[in-house]
Amino acid sequence: MTAQQPLAARDLSRRTFLQGLGVAGAGLALTSCARPSGSRTTEIVFYQSKPEVIGYFDELIQQFHEAQSTVRVRHDATSNLAGSFVRETPPDIGCLNYNFEISRYVERGALSDLSDMPEAGRIIDELQPLVDVTATYPGRTSVIPYSLMAAAVLYNREIFQANGLEPPTTWDEFLAVCEALTAAGVTPIYSTFKDPWTIAQGHFDYTVGGLIDTTDFFEQLKEQGADVGPNSPVAFQKQFVEPVERMKVLVGYSNENAASRGYGDGNLAFANGEAAMYLQGPWALTEIAKTNPDLDVGAFPLPMTDDPADRKVRVNIDLALWIPEGSAKKEAAREFLSFLMQPEVIDAYNAQALGFGVTEGAAPVTNETLVELKEYYDRAAFYLGASQLVPQSIPLQNYAQSLATGAEPEQVLRTLDADWSRLAFRS
């Protein structure tokens, strides 16, 4: 889930954490080396500000301290990251959502090369295009993915079964499901347009990613530079028209009060069976379970074509590790990075956070909802959400909100092209 979004799973418990990390602690006791009692201690600053896992990483830091005695980690979750780079006092290691905002540090060479670390070689090859389309620096591996989130259409299995419905595999089947639910007096999709990010990551990203190769589109857009408009090879107002028009079709199957409902309202309503489907990622599952822990929730990728083979899930690199070039304590930071990347540590994190593993041989997902998405992830049938590839200085979330509440697609997409062009010109 992205850093700008309200975050759902805010109560990752200490008890569950310790259970998940029990094996890790045992492994660390075996693999850590004894240190001379007179060794100097190096303190590094670890920047990780994802609210719902701050406590989790505090526990990991404690485990790291118990495993060795020469590196101490100070967890920073509050500093202004951009300001620290400007002041040339960046953290020694970071673990953040990997999106366009982090790309500025990659593209300027502000992050050190991690390609020589064995941990970099364990990342599955299929993820590299997702990393590269966000940002690259020549000759460097600037980030190492840590966790990946896969989002799709959450659906109430009981409502589907009660109405004799199966998860749709084509766009026409999806429309038929929505019509059948409407005829039965069931709201097909619970939407929360009050919170713009929910539309951007859901309705907008799902329709765009289901029809367009987002990686290819944004690579071409970057190469094109500031020349973005009706006469350029690629432009939002050209390639995004059909997806956005279909997005507006989805909006028509939403709850009537969607404009005044936010993320929290959606979790509660879906948990109470007020709609059959909900366009949210795994971060919503914990919140839904707080209200109705017995709700039988499934997941399927939103089909956007007439070919079932075209179905893909929306993903984002939820966390990625990096070490600034400006750190004077790179070796100590690398030691902590290696600790975090140990299979028993990274697998425990992803199981707890409902993420998919990013390394070769990673433990498979076991959550009953996410298991339905495993086949797509395993064969790399996924796409990076378009909203993850647009800088926050462009108000894409607000544009998506305006589309959901009645704005004309052509005008919004022309504005988006103009915004991108101005940004590319300044860059």
* pLDDT on residue 22: 47
List of residues 6+ apart from 375 with CB closer than 8 A:
381
Judge contact between 193 and 256, C-beta under 8 A. Answer: no
Residue with tokens 């997409």: 413
* pLDDT on residue 99: 80
Residue with tokens 């980690």: 73
Least Cα distance to 44 among 385, 323, 257, 368 occurs for 323
Judge contact between 12 and 60, C-beta under 8 A. Answer: no
Confidence band of 427 (pLDDT split at 50, 70, 90): low
- Residue that wins the pLDDT comparison between 425 and 244: 244
pLDDT greater than 90 at residue 277: yes
* pLDDT on residue 391: 87
Alpha-carbon distance of 243 to 361, in angstroms, equals 36
In sequence order, what DSSP letters do the residues of 294-334 get, joined into one string?
A: T--EEEEPPP-SS-GGG--EEEEEEEEEE-BTT-S-HHHHH
Structure confidence by residue, pLDDT tens digits, 283-308: 999 999 999 999 999 999 999 999 99
Task: Give the least confident one: 31-40, 81-90, 237-246.
Answer: 31-40
In sequence order, what DSSP letters do the residues of 17-52 get, joined into one string?
A: HHHHHHHHHHHHHHHPPP--TTPPPEEEEEE---GG
* pLDDT on residue 51: 87
* pLDDT on residue 33: 41
| Full set of structural domains in the chain with CATH | 14-149+316-374 (3.40.190.10), 152-314+383-426 (3.40.190.10)
Judge contact between 370 and 199, C-beta under 8 A. Answer: no
Q: How many CA atoms lie within 13 A of 421 on its CB side?
A: 16
Q: How many CA atoms lie within 13 A of 126 on its CB side?
A: 15
* pLDDT on residue 218: 94
Q: pLDDT exceeding 70 applies to what percent of the chain?
A: 91
* pLDDT on residue 39: 61
Structure confidence by residue, pLDDT tens digits, 190-233: 999 999 999 999 999 999 999 999 999 999 999 999 999 999 99
Alpha-carbon distance of 25 to 30, in angstroms, equals 9
Structure confidence by residue, pLDDT tens digits, 163-187: 999 999 999 999 999 999 999 999 9
Confidence band of 134 (pLDDT split at 50, 70, 90): confident
Judge contact between 102 and 318, C-beta under 8 A. Answer: no
Alpha-carbon distance of 325 to 93, in angstroms, equals 10
| Per-residue CA distances from 39 to 27, 35, 70 (Å) | 23, 7, 6
Which DSSP category does 382 fall into? E
Classify each residue of 406-424 as buried b or exposed e, where b means 16 or more C-beta atoms within 10 Å of its C-beta: ebebeebbbbbbebbbeee
List of residues 6+ apart from 135 with CB closer than 8 A:
100, 102, 103, 104, 106, 107, 142
